[in-house]
Amino acid sequence: MIPITIVAGYLGAGKTTFINKVLAETKSPLGVLVNDFGDLAIDHDLIQNDDGLTYSLNNGCVCCKLNDDTGAALESIKNKDISGVLLEASGVAIPIKVANYGLSWPGFSLNGILSLVDGQSVESLLDDKYVKTTVRDQLVQADRIVLNRHKKNIPKRLLELNSDIYTDREIQNYPEFIQDSFLSEKRIDDFQENHYAFKTSSLVSKESINKDKLKDFLSTNPHIHRAKGWIRDQQHQSWLVQMNKGGCKFIPCSYQTQNRMIFISTESINFQSQLINRFT
């Protein structure tokens, strides 16, 4: 099975740049599918890849799949010596629909949905008359978000929609970043149409946090499926916290003035109550 990584995100979010960074650093060949429908085949020329491994897609018919370029490209790339496929979705693609190729197409698997976000424009796009729901879907449906060109803090609205955010500065090695499947629990549940069962809670506070207590809380609370955010401990060290079914990680990060965390759980967590004292 060849893993497909979906690279989604609105126009100008940095999808092509991201793909080129992966291609520049990768040791094993990757197939690249560039979806240009509605645009012209600009992106294909900007992708720097080995000959014959980049396909430009143009899903011409709006109401049938008779000329499905994606399927044709997957069939054609199937027998080539590649370790994975990067599928660049169009700027208006709904990620889950594109991800169905990874789930359905014989010979392929879904590695995960990555949505790229331009920090400068995301907030105005979330209010845009035409594309607010499209951009929202692109954020909510992603397993991981890569945030480009942002200043200071990560916009709170972005955090509330999806907390699995990596800034471009946090990515050390691009091929490694997408090497292992990052398909989230939430994603699998989405496909089982259970996503209404999940609640999102957030914690924003100024008190320093006891990292070990927080870790303990996260690993013992059965309702919490994922958590992500930034905290500052009693020694004034700041940490990037990432928790999913696979475990809980604390990565040292630049100084944070406050704690900001998002929790995806089957029950709401009320951090305003005494609960917060458990790890402060």
Question: Given the rule CB under 8 A, which of 56-64, 79-87, 228-236, 253-261 is the region that contacts other proteins?
Answer: 56-64
Residues within window 79-138 making contact with other proteins, judged by CB under 8 A: 90-92, 94, 100-101, 103-107, 128-131, 133-134, 137
By CB under 8 A, is residue 55 in contact with other proteins? Answer: no
By CB under 8 A, is residue 166 in contact with other proteins? Answer: no
By CB under 8 A, is residue 11 in contact with other proteins? Answer: yes
Single residue of 5, 54, 70, 242 touching other proteins by CB under 8 A: 70
| Minimum distance from residue 10 beta carbon to other proteins (Å) | 7
Question: Given the rule CB under 8 A, which of 15-23, 41-49, 215-223, 224-232 is the region that contacts other proteins?
Answer: 41-49
Query: Quick one: 27 or 62, whose CB is closer to other proteins?
Result: 62
By CB under 8 A, is residue 58 in contact with other proteins? Answer: yes
User: Helix 132-140 and helix 95-104: axis angle, to 10°?
Assistant: 40
By CB under 8 A, is residue 246 in contact with other proteins? Answer: no
By CB under 8 A, is residue 71 in contact with other proteins? Answer: yes
| Minimum distance from residue 255 beta carbon to other proteins (Å) | 37
The two tokens of residue 206 are 């100024």
By CB under 8 A, is residue 62 in contact with other proteins? Answer: yes
Q: What's the CA gap between 123 and 107, in Å, rounded?
A: 38
By CB under 8 A, is residue 67 in contact with other proteins? Answer: yes
Query: Quick one: 61 or 252, whose CB is closer to other proteins?
Result: 61
Q: What's the CA gap between 6 and 279, in Å, rounded?
A: 37
Size of residue set near other proteins by CB under 8 A: 43
Instruction: For the sheet with 238-244, list strands across it.
Output: 199-205, 259-265, 224-232, 238-244, 247-253
Judge residue 261's burial from the number of C-beta atoms within 10 Å of its C-beta, 0-12 exposed, 13-18 middle, 19 or more buried. Answer: buried
Task: Name 244's bridge partners.
Answer: 247
Question: Given the rule CB under 8 A, which of 25-33, 36-44, 232-240, 254-262 is the region that contacts other proteins?
Answer: 36-44
Taking alpha carbons only, the member of 43, 24, 21, 25 closest to residue 33 is 43
Query: Quick one: 44 or 260, whose CB is closer to other proteins?
Result: 44
Return residues touching other proteins (CB under 8 A). Answer: 10-11, 36-42, 45, 58, 60-68, 70-72, 75, 90-92, 94, 100-101, 103-107, 128-131, 133-134, 137, 191
